Amino acid sequence: MTEESLAGRRFGAYEVLEELGSGGMGKVYRAKNVTLERIVALKTLAPQFAADKDFVHRFLKEARVVARLNHPNIVQVYDFGCVDGIHYLAMEYVDGQSLRTHMKGGRFSEKDAVIVIRQAVRALAVAHAAGIVHRDIKPDNLMFTSRAELKLVDLGIAKRVGEDQSLTLTGEAVGTPQYISPEQIRGLKDIDARADIYSLGATFYHLVTGHAPYKGTSGALVMSMHLTYPLPDPRQYEPVLSDGICRVLRKMMAKEREERYPNVDAVDRDLYRLQIGEAPEADEPGITGIATIIDTDRVGSPQRSRTPSPPARGLQTPPAPTGSRAWSVPFPEARPGAVATPPVAPTPAPVPTPAPAFREEDLHFVSMELARHIGPLARVLVKKAAKTAPNLVALGSALSENIPDEKGRAAFRNAIRARAK
């Protein structure tokens, strides 16, 4: 039996009803356990990976990790095994939509966003207590049931603290660019619960503003902004946001994890204070300044700067539209075009001529220079750009676009030009 034939077929104890989607490791189906007459989400490992022991180990590890967790805000694993050479997980079926889908209706009010994030915090508290870090918190991995209950899903890249790090792609940035923590971008081995706090903070930011914290023309640029660029003031999008919620966001998304909340319980205490109208206890992390607000249609096109709206005082939430759900209040889209990023000087596009074979020592030099600005992503970006760049200067010019500040871009280009002489 092949994976493509599962829909409409019998698969072990399951009758496969329909395909729901696919991901990096395999496909997900809606299925029915014939014996228990229970609808489940059946996640299968793609057949081409079945012969790879590392992939199988990781897949089964996911099953064992998630099966340990028992909480109403976490999707439950019922069963796992192998049928006809296809490894599978049978999980709780969530009859609902992702938080990402609900966010398409506009930003959430402070009140409703806090309710959502507190449910996610409760799920993470259970996972973290078991020594498990999710590593990919984002709106797509927070599902709502038809009863408006939040479920944390997709622990496919979860890990137990202290376990073999090779199972979680050591040295690579595992996560999603818009929500990934700086330490994951740097490829640190000792990723802990504070990485989830950062990613949840980025999700929280998106909920209350209608925008992800950073926006760029590539995932690499967005990740470099997580590393080096100050958190844009959320009130550039929604001037009515309270001082309290902005303090919580800055604390959750501090670039240095030592300056973040130490655990999700501390996050929850401040979220509760926001709910009852009290000021949070979060101290301000080290802030190097507020990002300039640039009106632009795309990153890299400098426009005239404008002054941020004055801070709002107190918990001010616009009235909910008639008929909105209790946990999610859709609002009109936030004002388009406001993107927090420094102006990027235009750089010449690489000339479409056959690329030379760069010397290894030159590529190593370029990688080391770029890594000073954006971290371990540099090696991958240099390798890719070297395939099309006609010379060393053009290579440096193209790669400089991944550096978020003009001063850094200029310094990098000058270093490459000096090397090329």
**Percentage helix, strand, coil, to 5, in the chain?**
40, 15, 45
Report the alpha-carbon angle 10-16-17, nearest 5: 135
> CATH number, domain at 27?
3.30.200.20
Q: Is residue 60 part of a domain?
A: yes
Of 46, 145, 54, 52, the closest CA to residue 97 belongs to 145
The verdict on residue 194 lying in a domain is yes
**Domain C-terminal end among 70, 92, 114:** 92
- Return the CATH number at 276: 1.10.510.10
Q: Are residues 374 and 388 in the same domain?
A: yes
- The reply to whether 16 and 120 lie within a common domain is no
In angstroms, the CA 84 to CA 73 distance is 33
Pair (163, 272) in one structural domain: yes
Count of residues in the chain = 421
Residues 375 and 392 in one domain: yes
Domain limit, last residue, from 49, 64, 92: 92
In a domain, 345, yes or no: no
State the 10-residue block means of pLDDT for the chain, 421 residues long: 74 95 82 95 82 78 79 91 89 92 93 96 94 91 92 67 39 71 91 97 97 92 92 95 97 97 97 95 64 35 33 33 34 35 43 63 88 76 87 91 83 92 82
Residues 6+ away with beta carbon under 8 Å from 343: 294, 302, 406
CA nearest to 258, candidates 163, 171, 188, 155 = 188
Same domain as 125, residue 82: no
Could you count the other beta carbons within 10 Å of the beta carbon of residue 350? 17
30/152 same-domain check: no
Kindly state whether residue 281 falls inside one of the protein's structural domains.
yes
What is the C-alpha separation between 403 and 363, in angstroms, rounded? 17
Same-domain check for residues 84 and 103: no
pLDDT, position 299: 38
Parent domain of 152: 96-340
In a domain, 348, yes or no: no
Instruction: Return the half-sphere exposure (C-beta side, CA atoms, 13 A cut-off) of residue 205.
Output: 30
Q: Which residues are catalytic?
A: 136
Residue 124 is predicted with a pLDDT of 96
Q: Domain check: are 289 and 320 in the same one?
A: yes
Residue 207 lies in a domain: yes
- Do the domain assignments include residue 111? yes
CB atoms inside a 10 Å sphere around CB 283: 9
Query: What pLDDT is recorded for position 206?
Result: 97
Contacts of residue 421, Cβ cutoff 8 Å, sequence gap at least 6 = none
Q: Do 88 and 105 share a domain, yes or no?
A: no
226 and 333 co-located in one domain: yes
The span from the CA of 44 to the CA of 2, in Å, is 11
The pLDDT value given to residue 335: 35
Pairing of strands 38-45, 77-83: unpaired
Helical H runs in 52-130?
53-67, 99-103, 110-129
CA distances from 153 to 66, 141, 143, 158, 201 (A): 10, 5, 7, 11, 17
Examine the domain organization and report whether 70 and 105 are in the same domain.
no
Query: Distance between CA atoms of 40 and 91, rounded to whole angstroms?
Result: 6
The answer to whether 75 and 94 have CB atoms below 8 angstroms apart is yes
DSSP-derived secondary structure letter, 138: S
Into how many domains does the chain fold?
3
Domain boundary among 92, 111, 127: 92
387, part of any domain: yes
How large is the greatest C-alpha to C-alpha distance in the chain, in angstroms? 74
Q: Are residues 134 and 60 in the same domain?
A: no
SS3 300: coil
